Structure 1
Amino acid sequence: MSLAVVYSRAQVGIAAPLVSCEVHLSGGLPGTSIVGLPETTVKEARDRVRAAILNAQLEYPQRRVTVNLAPADLPKDGGRFDLPIALGVLAANGRVPRDALDGCEFIGELALSGELRGVHGVLPAVLQATRRGRRVIVPRDNAREAALVEDADVRVADSLLEVCAHLAGRIDLPRAEGGGIDDGRASPLPCLSDVRGQPHARRALEVAAAGAHNLLLVGPPGTGKTMLASRLPGILPPLDEHEALELAAVRSVAGHDTDVANWKQRAFRAPHHTASAAALVGGGTLPRPGEVSLAHHGVLFLDEIVEFDRHVLEVLREPLESGRIAISRAARQAEFPARFQLVAAMNPCPCGYAGDPSGRCRCTPDVVARYRARLSGPLLDRIDLKLEMPRVAHAELRDGVVGEDSGTVRARVVAARLRQLQRAGKPNAWLGNREVERDCALDARQHALLDRAVDRLGLSARAYHRVLRVARTLADLAGSGRIEEVHLAEAIQYRRFGG
């Protein structure tokens, strides 16, 4: 029989659907055709595969070769199918035992010499193959990334000839090992004790970390907005195994090298204000993840947020609500996770010194209002905590008391987050409206206080629920089983800027 089937995985967003590479040899003029909705890079595989087989001193069949990549309606792109196509040709020609292909999946691009080159998106493929109980053979360039999946049977190879020898039983390919071991080599994160003064901002940062709330910092240049934002990952709870793998899968699909020592650290992404909408949320003819997905389970920091194009900022509204981003193109659709925590910073006015005791600001109220209006109401509505930071006195910078370090604050954050997970299974910022009604009950006096705040600040229904979520986080930090009036009052204070 001149038919062989080899299994591989395609890449659709961070999903890795199974692809059957069916190779058939028949009579007729020698030639190779690839069908099954291949993109240009996959069509070019016929030339790479033929040269790789010949340069590996193996025989390429002088017959009609038909390669079908099933399912036929799933687009295929990249060089990841080179290795399975080559093995299918060799198995159909009797040069590789067909039964050795059972229970295995193969991913890898071939050089003309027969060497294997790494490809993007290996981690999602290994995850799916492991769930199906299959062994995966990958290029050595992808070994460290593939080894992040515990209990996976991943073998690494340097060339097509090595894979053939392994399938023939002549050699045993080495396992990909050690990728997910935490050996203490992770880079230390910036410490919160570096921040002098700004006790209210430190408090807001702790609240944001405890409840996964979005945060806006407003203040003159040099008040420590960027320094505070960069300390947020250091006080967030550690990633669990599932969250770390999900983030690593996004990075793999985006083509970022896996930093094995730091792969369990929270992401901190800080795109420049000239970034386009596609750079922020993802896009392209072949959809790739953007900054919001690369910040999944981490922090997206937008410094000088009002300098971003307004259209660019508006595309954040959907992922801020849903935690996912769907990218649709004429021929492709992809969905990426985007459960990030937004931290933004801005000056109070164009010159940066509105409200400063020095009186340096000469901006008129109309100019300040237009400047702040660059942030739309719907986007501001989705930011839970808004804090105006004053300039720190020089004496406090020089002689100020050193504040708590990140480890101390992180312990309180972890304890508060644990209460939330035990109560609702998710951080307070992700609670739905019904869950808010269940977990954020108020008494009559507290309802009256909140009603007055809604009227005075003109809060929307969304802002109303976000105040309750923040109040619930403040209660969790205090170890309280119910929301007290002091918690509600503090939560209302965080809504004062911009309504």
Structure 2
Amino acid sequence: MTAKVKTIGHNAMMQPILIEVEAVSSKGLPGIQIVGLPSGGYRGTVRRVRSAIRATGLRLPPLFYTVNITPNVPIQASSDYDLPVTLALLSAAKLITDTELANRLFLGEISLTGDIKGADQLIYAAEWCQKSGDDLICGASINNLAHLFADLTCHTVETLDQTYRYLRGLLQLPGPSPTTSEPISTVQPVIFDQIDGQDLVKRALTVAMAGKHPILMIGSPGIGKTLLAEAAASLLPPLSQSDEIELRKQVTASQLTRTIQPPFVSPSTTVTAQSLIRNLTGDISRSRSGILFLDELLCRTTAVLDSLRRPLETNETNTLFILATNPCPCGYYGDTDQACRCSAAEQRRYGRKLSGPLIDRLAIIVNVSRTNNLIRSSAISESKEQQTTAFEKVLNARQAQLNRYKDENIYNAYASISQINLKHYSENALNLIDQASASLAHSVRARNHIIRLSRTIADVDLQPTVEAEHVAEAIQLRNTSSLPL
């Protein structure tokens, strides 16, 4: 009779996959053979399992045991299956019954002494068990994840002996209890409304944050583009439950015990296109539900710029793309303090890197002008009060979108025109959209940007109907005349 134990894995799209560990005993020379693990993982698992069973005081009958893991697992995750492999062997040896293993999922690495450690795939196991209704038995506490999996039945085991006695009904284990913990990132961003001046840019960033509209800031070096982008991180709304689960899939088992905050990712100018868009570990994936800030945009390779087209179009990670660039190679074209040193040919060559298809995918394009005092020296209490006002605008706009799209995790920037519903646009607003599209020769994408932007502006202003003034502001925020030559 074949013993079966359930465990978990994941695919390249970060989705949990059920894995079955089967074990069967037969006559022959005593030994253990594992099928479904890479050769390196096979040798390590057999040694750990044998030693752990011996340390627990249990004895396998002198038979030949074949263990099959299906589907095959990568070598990086092979140690996560020590516990299910061990339990499958004990079941094949009739030391545990099939009933005691039914409707339960096991995950954990076993040491030579029988201690059970945590596993990097814990978040996938919790997600699967939440949907399937199986009990989760693992070697890591999920107390810090209890708020994400309210219906999950989970028990933490510390040793193989404890696991064996629990399955045999000789021991009771407590369930998880919610706890508070330190955040992964404790860096406090600059308070957004503490920045003096730059009213147009701050308004643009507030609208971009509220609707997840990709934004490009153009300005001279040292003018405050990076500061504005970092300050915008203070307006990020709290993570939704689904987004927090997806973000936790990217951290190690040790970091699962810490609080996740919306990320702010700023890749260096030497980043490659592959490292930017790679699944799981790419910069775009790491910035899920947060901000991806690409400074010095036109100093990056053409491959990197081209790789942004699809993420800007679909935004499967709910990332706010904030891009920044200088207006010319020397950085001072149009600056009030320093003269530009670039020739006309250099300016044209520089501007050509910003291709038409990429521009077409940018909803907001604003010019950042120079100001003398960028940080306001006001009292902290006043800054916090102003910060609350800006933050509440973003939250109110987000709530309006949740109500409009029936709690789906959709933002205005990536909603279809039918979802936005033009019935909530006044006649004057629709006429202005048509006039602007004709006079400015807007593409279909550019026209849709204006429709979506004006919807977000109305949400920020708590207006159910989009008026002509909202459309006019949307047209102003998409200022293509400020693009590099």
- Same fold per TM (> 0.5)? yes
Q: What residue is the counterpart of 2:275 in the other structure?
A: 279
Structure 2 residue 299 is matched with structure 1 residue 303: no
Whole-angstrom CA distance in 2 between matches of 1:4 and 1:105: 14
Mapping for residues 36-51 of structure 1, pairs under 5 Å: 37-40=36-39, 42-44=41-43, 45-51=45-51
Contact 2:21 2:69 in 1 (8 A): yes
Q: What residue is the counterpart of 1:327 in the other structure?
A: none
* Coordinate RMSD, CA, aligned: 3.0
Q: What residue is the counterpart of 2:255 in the other structure?
A: 257
Q: State the Cα distance separating 1:122 from its structure 2 match.
A: 1.1
Q: Which amino acid aligns with 1:270?
A: S
Report the secondary structure of 1:22's partner residue: strand
Contact 2:194 2:376 in 1 (8 A): no
Q: Which amino acid aligns with 1:435?
A: Q
Whole-angstrom CA distance in 1 between matches of 2:332 and 2:265: 27
Q: State the Cα distance separating 1:455 from its structure 2 match.
A: 4.8
Q: What residue is the counterpart of 1:420 in the other structure?
A: 401
Q: State the Cα distance separating 1:419 from its structure 2 match.
A: 2.3
Which ranges of 4 or more aligned residues in structure 1 deviate by more than 6 Å?
73-76, 182-186, 398-404
Whole-angstrom CA distance in 2 between matches of 1:11 and 1:185: 24
Q: What residue is the counterpart of 1:334 in the other structure?
A: none
Whole-angstrom CA distance in 2 between matches of 1:461 and 1:440: 20
Q: How many residue pairs are counted as aligned between the two chains?
A: 472
Q: What residue is the counterpart of 2:161 in the other structure?
A: 161
Match of 1:344 among 312, 319, 323: 323
Report the secondary structure of 2:155's partner residue: strand
Contact 2:364 2:477 in 1 (8 A): yes
Whole-angstrom CA distance in 2 between matches of 1:383 and 1:422: 26
Q: State the Cα distance separating 1:223 from its structure 2 match.
A: 2.0
Residues 310 and 496 from structure 1, CA distance in 2 versus in 1: closer, same or farther, beyond 3 angstroms? same
Contact 2:315 2:414 in 1 (8 A): no
Q: State the Cα distance separating 1:218 from its structure 2 match.
A: 1.3
Report the secondary structure of 1:272's partner residue: coil
Q: What residue is the counterpart of 1:335 in the other structure?
A: none
Residues 322 and 221 from structure 1, CA distance in 2 versus in 1: closer, same or farther, beyond 3 angstroms? same
Q: What residue is the counterpart of 1:472 in the other structure?
A: 455
Contact 2:105 2:136 in 1 (8 A): yes
Q: What residue is the counterpart of 1:462 in the other structure?
A: 445
Residues 256 and 208 from structure 1, CA distance in 2 versus in 1: closer, same or farther, beyond 3 angstroms? farther
Residues 66 and 206 from structure 1, CA distance in 2 versus in 1: closer, same or farther, beyond 3 angstroms? same
Unaligned runs of 5+ in 1: 325-337
Contact 1:122 1:145 in 2 (8 A): no
Q: Which amino acid aligns with 1:8?
A: T
Match of 1:435 among 419, 424, 431: 419
Contact 1:108 1:119 in 2 (8 A): yes
Contact 2:296 2:326 in 1 (8 A): yes
Whole-angstrom CA distance in 2 between matches of 1:346 and 1:259: 38
Q: What residue is the counterpart of 1:482 in the other structure?
A: 465
Residues 446 and 415 from structure 1, CA distance in 2 versus in 1: closer, same or farther, beyond 3 angstroms? closer
Deviations 1:391-412 (A, max 9, x none): 1125x75779987732111112
Q: State the Cα distance separating 1:100 from its structure 2 match.
A: 1.9
Match of 2:266 among 250, 267, 270: 270
Contact 1:351 1:363 in 2 (8 A): yes
Residues 315 and 146 from structure 1, CA distance in 2 versus in 1: closer, same or farther, beyond 3 angstroms? farther
Match of 1:491 among 468, 471, 474: 474
Mapping for residues 102-251 of structure 1, pairs under 5 Å: 102-140=102-140, 144-145=144-145, 148-179=148-179, 187=186, 189-248=189-248, 250-251=249-250
Taking structure 1 as the reference length, the TM-score comes to 0.85
Residues 55 and 346 from structure 1, CA distance in 2 versus in 1: closer, same or farther, beyond 3 angstroms? same
Structure 2 residue 364 is matched with structure 1 residue 381: no
Unaligned runs of 5+ in 2: none
Contact 2:226 2:295 in 1 (8 A): yes
Whole-angstrom CA distance in 2 between matches of 1:317 and 1:255: 33
Select between 237-246 and 375-384 the one with higher mean Cα deviation: 237-246
Residues 184 and 376 from structure 1, CA distance in 2 versus in 1: closer, same or farther, beyond 3 angstroms? closer
Contact 1:147 1:177 in 2 (8 A): no
Contact 1:41 1:79 in 2 (8 A): no
Report the secondary structure of 1:251's partner residue: coil
Mapping for residues 389-408 of structure 1, pairs under 5 Å: 389-394=368-373, 405-408=386-389
Whole-angstrom CA distance in 1 between matches of 2:301 and 2:40: 35
Contact 1:4 1:91 in 2 (8 A): yes
Whole-angstrom CA distance in 2 between matches of 1:406 and 1:152: 37
Report the secondary structure of 1:140's partner residue: coil
